[in-house]
Amino acid sequence: MERHEIEVFLALAEELHFGQTGRRLGVTTTRVSQVVRVLERRVGVPLFERTSRRVALTPTGHQLYEDLKPAYDGVRAAMARAAARGRGLTGTLRVGYVGAMAGRLVMMAAARFRRGHPDCAVQPREVQMGGALDGLRADEIDVLVGCFPLDGPGLTAGPALLTEPRMLAVPAGHPFARVASVSIEDLRRVRLVAAPCSLPPVAPAGPADDDLPVAETLQEVLTLIGAGQGAFVVGEHVTRFYARPDVVYVPFRDAPPLHWGPVWPTACETARLRAFVADAIESAQAAA
């Protein structure tokens, strides 16, 4: 496979939309279709199921993606490290992270980065989700590791490094605390705490309430929940890093997973930033 064929296949497998894939790669939708047809002729079976309403991977396409993605990421990471070492990386990289899971990954990546680039320092810094992107734009941090989507004008999002299920955090005395799982539709029946670190919604809001409890940080969110003032959608890692006797975490049975990864100002991309992202990819794969 040629490099452009690999990139088109992987992008379409992730986007499952020809138009979005073309925009992501800077090519036309027609070009994406042409590359996919060439690959399918070479493989001998369809890699994607295509209808007027949806695109999906076939079993063969899914297996090819699972086999190809780690290898391609490894090649990109190796080239990034080689290029960075060739440029003689120096200076300091300021890395922001949101939450304990992202912080753990950042520390692992920082240790790997320092071994390969002893002349370049890493300064990890925890930030709150509500102002995390402001920190990037104000040049307070160089790269942020947080929960996707993290987008906006002038920002570049890197690959997803971590994936986890969504959970619903409820008071220990709540009826949902006694069930094995909840559904997206159940969100209509709970009062959700309002916070700038709220995850992307997966369903319409619950009962209308002009006096919703408001929190600024995850710890404040959990304190309000423990006091019986609402519920909140969190990632599965919260059950490990933020266990509390007054809060119960109930898994969703039908909600899409959460993805965590890096984002940085496009105009401020540097060799040391690219090298750090490459090490973060390897650290995430090693921890999986």
Q: What domains appear along the chain, each with residue ranges and CATH number?
A: 3-72 (1.10.10.10), 90-162+258-287 (3.40.190.10), 166-251 (3.40.190.10)
Spatial CA neighbour of 126 closest among 154, 106, 111? 106
pLDDT band for position 148 (50/70/90)?
confident
Whether 163 has a pLDDT exceeding 80, the answer reads: yes
Contacts of residue 84, Cβ cutoff 8 Å, sequence gap at least 6: 117, 271, 272, 274, 275, 278
Which two three-digit tokens encode residue 104?
A: 């753990």
Q: Which residue has the tokens 């916070």?
A: 195
> What's the rounded mean pLDDT across residues 152-167?
91
pLDDT band for position 75 (50/70/90)?
confident
Whether 288 has a pLDDT exceeding 80, the answer reads: no
Question: How does pLDDT run across 238-286, given as a tens digit for each residue?
Answer: 999 999 999 999 999 999 999 999 999 988 888 889 999 999 999 999 8
> What's the rounded mean pLDDT across residues 68-74?
89
Half-sphere exposure of 119 (CA within 13 A, CB side): 7
Rounded to whole angstroms, the Cα distance separating 200 from 110 reads 28
Question: How does pLDDT run across 217-246, given as a tens digit for each residue?
Answer: 899 999 999 999 999 999 999 999 999 999
For position 241, what pLDDT does the model report?
94
